[in-house]
Amino acid sequence: MDNFIVSARKYRPATFQTVVGQQHITGTLKNAIKNNQLAQAFLFCGPRGVGKTTCARILAKTINCQNLTADAEACGECNSCISFQNGNSFNFHELDAASNNSVEDIRNLIEQVRIPPQAGKYKVYIIDEVHMLSQQAFNAFLKTLEEPPHYAIFILATTEKHKILPTILSRCQIFDFNRIRVEDMAQHLAEIADKEGIAYDQDGLHMIAQKADGGLRDALSMFDQIVSFSNKNVNYKAVIDNLNILDYDYYFKLTDAILSEDVSGSLLIFDEILSHGFDGNHFITGLASHFRNLLVCRDSSTLKLLEVSEGIRQKYQLQSQTAPLSFLISALNISNQCDLNYKTSKNQRLQVELALIKLCHIPAVINLSAAGMPQIPEGEVKKKLNPEVKTEISVKPDYPFHEKEITPGIQTLEEPKKITASAEAPATEFQKSNLKPEADAKKPIVSMPRPSLSPNSAFIPNLNDLEANYTKKEEERPEYLSGDSKLDFSADSLLRFWNTYAAKIKNEGKINIFTIMTSYPPRLLPEYIIELDIENKLQEELLHSEKVELLNFLRTELKNYSIDLQTKLLEQIQKKRLYTSNEKYQHMLEKNPNLEEFRKRFNLDLDF
């Protein structure tokens, strides 16, 4: 029985031509060899399994080859190439910096560099995982790396370039290796399968390439595993069963259920996924990727971002035609939020199920928005309203009615928040009487009816209305209530309603204003003037921001529209600072006269 050699070693590239997915690196190195412009030091950096050490070995073999081809490739037949392939070349030295990272190891390397090659032109030193060298070892290596002998070439390889000293980076030619594309890996796996006589399908190879995440060595390791599992039949079903990958069909079925607003069906599909041993976080991240792929398929220019096989690509294109753009954006937002909250949630399954329920309500919200909300062109929103146009005053349901100004004829307003009107009906006579006719007749109030949405529904706002909404908020600033009533009241009544309002703003989170109102009691002066003591100008500014609502509340409750509020700044008593020892002792003596007797009894003295 022959010894089995894994595919990662058996099919390791031996020439620049066979390197997968790094044409920008191999082309540069071949041109440097052709033009005899080899640098003294190279730094190969990039993720794992993308060919850094492989390219370093190919470069070391090629520059010492005695019969280079016209394409600057090693012949593989000369004595230098044969000794390199057999592992007994004296011109090639490979050092693992993870286990040889001390200053002594670098000194031994420097001693070897002094010996010229016995055969060939160059001595090549490959230092793998060079970022593992200690700082002292880096410093010891600097001089040799900057001015090596003409026959010495250093090739450094690392996965973490940011850990290497800038002085080392400045002495090397840096080559950044890319992650290998899914299509390139799938094609390479297909070539190996053909050589080994292994049956396969493209969907299975693409799934292996996606799972490898840009590393060809990982893809080859998984390929060997699937070959053993499936008895040399690498298909899509064998790949997802062995590598614990969630099938695409689950996401396609789940998306169809969500688009049809089938909440129960969506929850049952998720339960089936959990029963197969998949994690909820793995499911929700895969669902977000599925929505992302559907969004990519909607535009032909972004179709190249979809890294799947041709059969799966057709399924994505078909389903993307039935999924609206607004649905995909809202679904991505909900899925991403669920992914962020999953690990911190104590009931993780409920977190995912709640996200699925929200997703199922998105189509209903989109249909309701399209049917019930008028579509206003962007130009109409920005156009100024005609002051001569008469518009009906409508109040949004479930929103309190706020009066801008109250006419002098009205004396009381006991429950202003209960004054509401329906979205379709015009305003009542009582509401019209509460509006100032002279000031507001030329300012029509326009409000759009909003559909009543469930708490779990996702509403997509119209961004064109933001400018109008902000302008409306600025115009609806509270103003003082006015009236003819001047009912007399006592200081006790004032204090009772004062404390009631203070408790109200405390519940609203306005702690600073609550502290100002309760630090000193209010005083009732003649002509219904309320005076409050404050300690500084900052408190006066904070109280002024609440003054309108406070006076409106007191005027309404006390039936007196002549109430006004003023503040009085307290004089701050400056505390005398104690500097000398005598002043400090006298201050202590004022608080405790027995201190002098204690000093005399023990014959103590002060450092005056």
Report domain extents, the chain.
7-176, 182-242, 248-372, 491-569
pLDDT, residue 400, reads: 41
pLDDT for residue 470 is more than 50: no
Mean pLDDT calculated for residue range 360-382: 60
- Global confidence as pTM: 0.54
Which contiguous run of DSSP H or E holds residue 92?
Answer: strand 92-96
pLDDT for residue 519 is more than 80: yes
pLDDT, residue 321, reads: 87
Is there a contact between 124 and 155 (Cβ–Cβ < 8 Å)?
yes
pLDDT in tens, 7-54: 888 888 888 888 888 888 889 898 898 888 888 899 999 888 888 888
pLDDT for residue 365 is more than 80: no
Domain 491-569: CATH class, spelled out: alpha beta
Q: Which CATH fold topology does 248-372 show?
A: Zinc Finger, Delta Prime; domain 3 (1.20.272)
Is there a contact between 242 and 225 (Cβ–Cβ < 8 Å)?
yes
pLDDT, residue 607, reads: 64
Mean pLDDT calculated for residue range 245-260: 88
pLDDT category, 87, cuts 50, 70, 90?
confident
pLDDT, residue 356, reads: 92
d(CA 501, CA 311): 68
pLDDT category, 334, cuts 50, 70, 90?
very high
* DSSP label of 343: T
Q: Which CATH fold topology does 7-176 show?
A: Rossmann fold (3.40.50)
Mean pLDDT calculated for residue range 183-193: 89
Task: Share the mean pLDDT of the chain.
Answer: 78
Domain 182-242: CATH class, spelled out: mainly alpha
pLDDT for residue 153 is more than 60: yes
Instruction: Give the residue, 388 or 159, on which the prediction is more confident.
Output: 159
Mean pLDDT calculated for residue range 212-232: 86
Long-range contacts of range 238-246, CB-CB < 8 Å, 24 or more positions apart?
238/204, 239/204, 239/207, 239/208, 240/207, 243/207, 243/208, 243/211, 244/277, 244/278, 245/207, 245/211, 246/273, 246/278, 246/282, 246/283, 246/286
pLDDT category, 352, cuts 50, 70, 90?
very high
d(CA 212, CA 69): 34
pLDDT above 70 covers what percent of the chain? 79
pLDDT, residue 34, reads: 87
Is there a contact between 157 and 45 (Cβ–Cβ < 8 Å)?
yes
pLDDT, residue 68, reads: 84
pLDDT, residue 414, reads: 42
d(CA 567, CA 161): 65
pLDDT for residue 565 is more than 70: yes
Is there a contact between 176 and 46 (Cβ–Cβ < 8 Å)?
yes
d(CA 489, CA 494): 7
pLDDT category, 452, cuts 50, 70, 90?
very low
